[in-house]
Amino acid sequence: MSRVGFIGIGIMGSGMARNLVDAGFDVVVWNRTRSKAEAIDGATVADSPRDVAAECDTVLICVSDSPDVEAVVRGGDGVLAGLRSGTLVVDHSTISPSVTRELAAAVREAGGSWVDAPVSGGSEGAANGTLSIMVGGSEDDVARAMPHFEAMGKTITHVGPVGSGQLVKLVNQMLVVINQLAVSESLLFAEAAGLDLGATLRAVTGGAAGSWMLANRGPQMVARDWRPGFTIDLQQKDLRLVLEAADELGVPAFGTSLAFNLYRTLQQQGLGSEGNHAMVRALEKMTGIEIGGDR
């Protein structure tokens, strides 16, 4: 089995890299903070993205934002500096579709190929190998990456050519935050009405109102557990990408814009490292009502 590199051992990448090791792949990892890479038992730690590319036939990337991907690909010690002819680069980050196409062109010019494959499912999905993976690239490149995807995800969808995966991920993020707004408003309403929040969740989760956000984040909200599956700061990065793309396309994005501005108020309060389900705290601030906790 050929070596696979993994760049970016963060809240998502740590679980993804561990699942590759558990699936039997020979994994080489790199992270800016070396100790995080060293925590991946069974993987070899590289000194730079360049070294990862020099040692591996496939290089997976999962970092925070467009500039971060550009740095690990184009930097002096980046992937391009060590890229071998025929190497497949797979980007699991959520970044600008236009930057994706630019990087894909640079990798092709150097003799490699590119697949954009952003993921959804939070840190739980990354740890459990149940991510949803939205894939953009050629049929041959996607088929080549598929064994790696199958080690990390359960819903793997080839959605079109390079750049399409990023666009579908932006669709996903719009749905996530508008869903979270609905969950936040609904639970605040239930609290104000004096309802039993646990019973309310059980009553509505299995019906037409049910959603992943309601089922997975609703109980956390009721327990006032703001630990992140995905942080507000990272969510805001994605929403900026959505709003930029919506502007380019001339598409209204009212709900996404509202969610963005609610999260902004929480960032101003120093809460950007909390989970994106903490959106409800912005609504609580407006009303003076807090959901869950001691009654």
pLDDT digits (tens, 9 = 90+) for 27-57: 999 999 999 999 999 999 999 999 999 999 9
Domain identity same for 20 and 115: yes
Domain identity same for 56 and 110: yes
Residue 87 in domain: yes
pLDDT digits (tens, 9 = 90+) for 220-269: 999 999 999 899 999 999 999 999 999 999 999 999 999 999 999 999 99
Domain identity same for 27 and 140: yes
Domain identity same for 11 and 155: yes
In whole angstroms, give the CA distance from residue 151 to residue 131. Answer: 10
Question: Which of the listed residues 142, 160, 178 is the one where a domain comes to its end?
Answer: 160
Domain identity same for 254 and 111: no
Element of type H or E holding 29: strand 26-30
Reported confidence tier of residue 1, pLDDT bands at 50, 70, 90: low
Residue 292 in domain: no
Give the CA count within 13 Å in the CB-facing half-sphere of 225: 8
Q: Tell me, what's the pLDDT at 2?
A: 82
Which of the residues 154, 169, 237, 285 is marked catalytic?
169
CATH number at residue 202: 1.10.1040.10
Residue 295 has pLDDT above 90, yes or no: no
Cβ contacts of 261 within 8 Å, gap of 6 or more? none
- Sign, CA dihedral 176-182-188-194, equals negative
In whole angstroms, give the CA distance from residue 12 to residue 96. Answer: 19
Number of structural domains found in the chain: 2
In whole angstroms, give the CA distance from residue 38 to residue 49. Answer: 15
Domain identity same for 141 and 77: yes
Residue 100 in domain: yes
Domain identity same for 155 and 189: no
**Residue 282 belongs to what domain range?**
167-287
Count other Cβ atoms within 10 Å, centred on residue 295. 8
- Sign, CA dihedral 254-260-264-265, equals positive
Domain identity same for 18 and 91: yes
Residue 169 annotated among the catalytic residues of the structure: yes
Domain identity same for 88 and 147: yes
Predicted TM-score of the model (pTM): 0.92
Write out the DSSP string of 205-252.
HTSTT--HHHHHHHHHHHTT----SSBHHHHHHHHHHHHHHHHHHT--
Reported confidence tier of residue 294, pLDDT bands at 50, 70, 90: low
Domain identity same for 122 and 73: yes
Residue 139 in domain: yes
